[in-house]
Structure 1
Amino acid sequence: MNTLTRIFENKIISIVRGAKPEDTLKIAKALRDGGIRLIEITLNSPNALESIELVSQELGEEMVVGAGTVLDPETARAALLAGSKFILSPTVDLETIKMTKRYGAVSIPGAYTPTEILTAYENGGDIIKVFPASVGPNYFKDIRGPLSHIPLLPTGGVTLDNIAEFQKAGVVGFGIGSSLVDAKQEVNERYLMELTQKARSFVSAIRS
């Protein structure tokens, strides 16, 4: 199964920001145990490329690893060589999209307005991350009126309380950050158990 199909199937991309490599691996395993199969490691995390490589090698096919907060093609290439299968950006950078596609990976550029969303898609974006999604599900309903052919991924503001509403709005997946993984907390056994349970709750919310 290719990466894009796995994203469409599993839907939830868990965003890990700010964790050290050894903690990122523990977090990834806890998420996996809770049913999450997609993880985004942001490149503004400590030794992010090392984290990407570590999780890719340790969890293999169990967890699809992507890189987030990718701002330029050079960084995208480094992340892809470290093992990333998909690249997420907060903005529409056409050269980053081109580099990602050149390596056969999934491109998820970030956009907000209809013009940005269409531009990103027409230039090779596979899925368009709409950020921030704190504007709410109705915005996605409105956007999908004229742009129903474009796969949208709300990120920033998706919680357990509203994820079902986002799903009803017709999005293809969800980028979920601190409402799932809060890397500022101590990554101990209790934290990891709670994280696994939280992951189960998110997975259950989109399947019910």
Structure 2
Amino acid sequence: MPKMKNAKILIMATNGFEQSELQVPLKELRDAGATVHVATLDGKAIKGWDQSDWGESVDGDLKISDVNVDDYIALVLPGGQINPDILRADETAVQKVRDFVAGDKIVAAICHAPWLLIEAGVVEGREMTSYHSIRTDLKNAGANVVDKEVAISNGIITSRSPDDLPAFVAKIIEEVNEGEHSRDVAA
């Protein structure tokens, strides 16, 4: 997989990320040869949520505000209820999501993370999935909502839950190996 060895991928998260939804892609994408950075609001470590209680911390590599979208081929957005809810209220984080989509980058969001895609205004007309409790939000924002382990629409990848992580990560790797995608930019 020569493209993975040259790929730089960003994971954007804050406190309350679903533990497995950050750590599994982080490990597997690095194992596949990619350089993976974690961007947090302050550039410092963040604490995960592991099913029913606080989990482990993950070090931040840089501040979200310092992210240069052109440095990366893909953006991964882990879910959890707390993490995407905090990030969607942060205009800088939302703008970075818009910038990744406008820059024809691969964007992958799992579980509750499609809330960020809704806030960024990039879901209308796209086939998407998510955790069952936010599917109405996706539908109301104009997405064509499906219930399957991974949906892809113009380089935007979505999955439902930690159970879908194998298919989610495999699809990210497949898309990185295919390269950047031209797509319609959200209004």
TM-score range, shorter-chain basis?
0.3 to 0.5
**Higher helix proportion:** 1
**Higher strand proportion:** 2
Task: State TM-score, norm by structure 2.
Answer: 0.37
